[in-house]
Structure 1
């Protein structure tokens, strides 16, 4: 019997229950309650007199159990969704079996599939495309003859020459299938049902599947309405239909397999959050499942590796350019936390930036000043790596550069002068002065270190008549 709502544990087994989050009634909401809640969810154990006097505890969707550290409320939805006949979160993370969280006892036996912490929601199973699968048997709840919905999070690693079965109760002649397939040319998703023991009707997605990309895919067969639909990432995605949609489906007698069908056609990649229903789900229900893990998610507690070889280069009196080698993570590195302190031998580091890549230019610094840097990586769960090595750099002294120009007076009487500058020999040139220059000297203090400039001078009279350019002078500004 399933119940819905908060955990309220009754006095006969647990004592006074003043706080529904205090699952073990010790007067404190702490990690022990979290662990107990998780075990109750995964164990599908007898909870008589423990949850509102209910019988067997068949909890599937956990919205919140307890997280005292974050101060979250204790809200648990312990209702088995209507029509759910099998559900696999793959949250175990180890071992040779996977629990059916629908409460129907369709435990899966793992054959050659590998555990990974890089699932869509925590742990998942990786399939090698040749020998990996999970056998979940042929229990009574899986022997469907009417409507059904199959859902999974899918991340393909390779393009097989033929179908890659995600979940199937099928052999070479008939039965339902949920798969990736090149049947229409490109690799798409597909769902199939059989009217009898020798036929198969198939619907393909219009989306072409990419490798190493997570997709939520749902196949929906509505026997009453005569509909066979496929949804990708919560949106109807029907492509071609092959065959006539039957009014009922043939129950093939083989076992349900995850990662293949009876006889082969293995999936290559990672699968997570698999659900099978004996009814047609609505689009809102599919979207809700897409955004909700089957069961409690195993938290990611593994930090990224330490960033390596942090180095810096003081390129001026105000800037240090930094670079480092990338970190790795069991799921994904989301960025880096860069810290800096000022002064020789300093240790009071403070965060200055959160770069996403492996380089950062630290500007607006003080000249002739020593700065030390360290960095660490972070992931989506907020895990932080150890600190990198410390890189120490001293900015250069601030040097002012200028160019002094002089020239011989024009033979024409009563003239003044214009000074022009360019960065390419022979021009084009830009006039530097805003008014005519009466002297035979001009100081250009707008030059930049490391740049070469080219100068010319013209003579101009009071009527605005201007001579041609003088001979060109060149000035190369040193780099400090």
Structure 2
């Protein structure tokens, strides 16, 4: 089991995948603090559609462009494919700075691989910014989406910590992304409700209490496809779109975004 899976904290397993059921983020399905009505999605603070060519991942909403490292590149088809060996995207630091709430939403397809791959990993490890591969760095604070774990429920999970594995909280679930199809995955950190929630294809999978604020996460290494834990494998698969909202979107808004699909306002 990866070090990233040994943290403590409470666990809430999903509600059976019923879209919009089990309550919304923070307040039983109603819009949380500052959240938008469900019929009109707010504009994301950052939006990456993976259009164009080359190694620059343009932020069409917030200007925080990222860089593709490890040899992968955009091919002009509106998607990014990572090889699972050494490819990842390095986004600018500080995307979470000053926020109480955040919704991270991504459309992604997994291409095999083991446990604790990282679809998204925003945080910092024990060796600081831009660690060298093989330096045995371990995560110190992070917000993570992973498609599989070593927990009893081995499917997709959301992990968050302000103090390494010991302070980790997680939402672990059974569903996997092993069908090689594009799925919408979203994690919601609701500071007002002090919860972490995980969604798959518009459906709430589960949520858990969080005992620290979003500001406690030092998002220095903001990565797609790479983990703050050096021993974890790289993610292999395809990204169609990534969005960050500066609020805790309610369940109905996440479902509406799923129904609308990627590459749309």
TM-score (norm. length: structure 1): 0.39
Q: Distance in 1 between matches of 2:219 and 2:113?
A: 29
| CA gap 1:192/1:270 in 2 versus in 1, 3 angstroms | same
Q: Distance in 2 between matches of 1:134 and 1:184?
A: 26
1:129 corresponds, among 66, 84, 93, to: 84
2:176 corresponds in structure 1 to 208
Where in structure 2 are the equivalents of 1:8-407 lying within 5 Å? 81-82=42-43, 84-92=44-52, 94-102=53-61, 104-111=62-69, 112-115=71-74, 123-139=78-94, 141-143=95-97, 145-160=99-114, 162-170=115-123, 171=125, 172-185=139-152, 187-196=154-163, 199-238=167-206, 244-249=209-214, 250-264=216-230, 265=232, 266-290=234-258, 291-294=260-263
CA distance in 1, matches of 2:86, 2:174: 29
Query: Residues 104 and 186 of structure 2 are in contact (CA less than 8 Å); yes or no, is this contact kept in structure 1?
Result: yes
Instruction: Report the structure number with the largest CA radius of gyration.
Output: 1
Residue 272 of structure 1: how far off its partner (Å)? 1.6
CA distance in 1, matches of 2:217, 2:192: 17
Measured after TM superposition, the shift of residue 133 of structure 1 is 0.6
**Cα root mean square deviation, aligned:** 2.6
* Partner Cα separation in structure 2 for residue 205 and residue 220 of structure 1: 15
Query: Cα–Cα, structure 1 residues 228 and 251, in superposed 2: closer, same or farther, change >3 Å?
Result: closer
Q: Quick one: structure 1 residues 157 and 213, their matched pair in 2 at CA, closer, same or farther if it must change by over 3 Å?
A: same
Question: For this pair of structures, how many residues does the alignment match?
Answer: 206
Task: Give me the whole-angstrom Cα distance separating, in 2, the residues matched to 1:152 and 1:223.
Answer: 21
Given that 1:150 and 1:178 are in contact with CA atoms closer than 8 Å, whether structure 2 keeps it comes out as: no
- Structure 1: give runs of 5+ residues left out of the alignment: 1-78, 297-480
Q: Does the 8 A contact of 2:140 with 2:161 survive in 1?
A: no
The residue matched to 2:147 in structure 1 has which SS?
Answer: strand
Conservation of the 8 A alpha-carbon contact between 2:72 and 2:81? yes
Provide the secondary structure at the position in 2 that maps to 1:164.
coil
Structure 2 gaps, min length 5: 1-39, 126-138
Q: What's the secondary structure of 2:119's corresponding residue?
A: strand
Alpha-carbon distance between aligned partners in 2 of 1:174 and 1:150, rounded to the nearest angstrom: 17
| Cα separation, 1, equivalents of 2:252 and 2:68 | 32
Larger RCO (CA within 8 A; separation ≥ 6): 2
Whether the 8 Å CA contact 1:224–1:247 is kept in 2: the answer is no
Q: Is the CA contact (8 Å cut-off) linking 1:133 and 1:258 kept in structure 2?
A: yes
Secondary structure of 1:142 counterpart = coil
Give CA-to-partner distance per residue, 1:106-144, whole Å, 9 cap, x none. Answer: 101111224357xxxx521111112111111114x4325
CA contact (8 A) 1:230 1:238 kept: yes
**How is 1:450-461 mapped onto 2 (pairs within 5 angstroms)?**
none
User: Structure 1 pair 194/186, CA: closer, same or farther in 2 (3 Å)?
Assistant: closer
Aligned mates of 2:58, 2:197 — CA distance in 1 = 28
In the alignment, the residues of structure 2 paired with residue 289 and residue 150 of structure 1 have an alpha-carbon distance, to the nearest angstrom, of 12
